[in-house]
Amino acid sequence: MGRDSILQLLGARTVRLAPMASFTNAAFRRIAVQCGSGFVTNEEIDAEALVHRNRFALEMARVEPADGPVAMQLLGNSAASLVPAALHLAEAGAAAVDINMGCPTPKIVRHGKGAALMRDVATTASILSALRAALGDLPLTIKIRGGWDESQPNAVEVARMAEDVGVDAITVHPRTRAQRFGGRAPHQVIGDVVRAVRIPVTGNGDITSLAEARQMMAETGCASVMVGRAALGRPWLFDEAYERMDAEARGAYEARVVGEHFDLIEALCSPRQAVMQMKKHLALYVSGRQHPRGWRGELFALATPTDVRAVYDRLSAAPLAVSEERRDAELLPA
């Protein structure tokens, strides 16, 4: 049952937005879907924070009918917090619950969360079994890395364990925790996982276009592809029609999408949060453009949504200053 519905969700549109903390909230998810992204996963929510009814966690855990089907993702290190948090998300209307087993951030793995779940496969199996039993028919999915480090490349072992305990689908970002975002993602690991299990596998890592996503599917056999960093500031990447537009049509399309994104941010976030979110996405939307000297200082000082929109109108009209490739490199997290 869970497996059938996850297959339907993945099959409808196969290239989809990856979860990214503090970016893939409801506003950006809706924009990505509007541009053509398939089934999206929300940014990570800490299970303990949700169980303790932290205000921000509760806010992130809201699912509105207008979101469409959305997988809600949890970070956690034990069934004691992950099970009640997953039940909260099920009740809230999540179409699937995804467990983050890939976050490499030291302050997360230090507490046994994120990629640390790949180290102790037996304990993680018991956590996933408890989640499986609690969630009934609701799809349960996981997002993994290639392993903890070069000495423990265990994506295949973890995937087999997950299939055995009843996980419905797996996303693989094939770098190890130790690699974080360095070097090229070794896509052959995705193919290794595809061949090892019967449940659908989503490939992820360094994809910057629909053509590259199709190539990843052909080369690895994965059922869908997640795109993360390349979609920041470029959600139109999911739209095949955009690729065929001339420069003028693209400019008009981009301005409309950015305007609608800013409208959604204003509608869905508190006024203070809204300006912060708009500034964050503004920097991405205009990255790679020729900027006036000191523009980051100007961006920092923007205080109202109207100011942010005016700066977007001005800067988006400037010519590109760097190649698309260098622009992608600018988006890499530190």
Ligand X SMILES: Cc1cc2nc3c(=O)[nH]c(=O)nc-3n(C[C@H](O)[C@H](O)[C@H](O)COP(=O)(O)O)c2cc1C
Binding site for ligand X (CB under 6 A): 18-21, 43-44, 73, 100, 102-103, 143, 173, 204-207, 227-230, 333
Secondary structure (3-state) at 243: helix
CB of 20 to ligand X, least distance (A): 4
Ramachandran sector of residue 116 (left: φ over 0; alpha: ψ -120 to 50; beta: rest): alpha
CB of 73 to ligand X, least distance (A): 6
Q: Among residues 35, 103, 222, 269, which one is catalytic?
A: 103
CA dist 135 to 63, 192, 211, Å? 17, 28, 36
CB of 169 to ligand X, least distance (A): 13
Residue 118 or 309 with smaller CB distance to ligand X: 118
CA dist 183 to 171, 176, 180, 206, Å? 19, 11, 9, 10
Q: Catalytic annotation on 103?
A: yes
Residue in the shown chain whose Cβ atom is closest to ligand X: 228
Q: Which long-range contacts (CB under 8 A, 24 or more apart) does 80-86 make?
A: 81/47, 81/48, 81/51, 82/47, 82/127, 82/130, 82/131, 83/130, 83/131, 83/134, 84/47, 84/51, 85/45, 85/47, 85/48, 85/50, 85/51, 86/47, 86/131, 86/134, 86/135, 86/140
Residue 29 or 143 with smaller CB distance to ligand X: 143
Measured in whole angstroms, how far is the alpha carbon of residue 153 from the centre of its chain?
Answer: 23
Cβ 291 vs Cβ 257: under 8 Å: no
Residue 43 or 309 with smaller CB distance to ligand X: 43
Residue 136 or 333 with smaller CB distance to ligand X: 333
Residue 190 or 309 with smaller CB distance to ligand X: 190
CB of 211 to ligand X, least distance (A): 15
Helices (H), the chain: 2-12, 26-35, 47-51, 55-60, 79-92, 106-109, 121-135, 155-164, 188-196, 210-220, 240-243, 247-268, 271-285, 295-301, 305-316, 324-330
CB of 213 to ligand X, least distance (A): 10
Interstrand relation of 201-204 and 70-75 (parallel, antiparallel or unpaired)? unpaired
Residue 200 or 309 with smaller CB distance to ligand X: 200
- In eight-state DSSP terms, residue 315 is H
CB of 141 to ligand X, least distance (A): 11
List the catalytic residues.
103
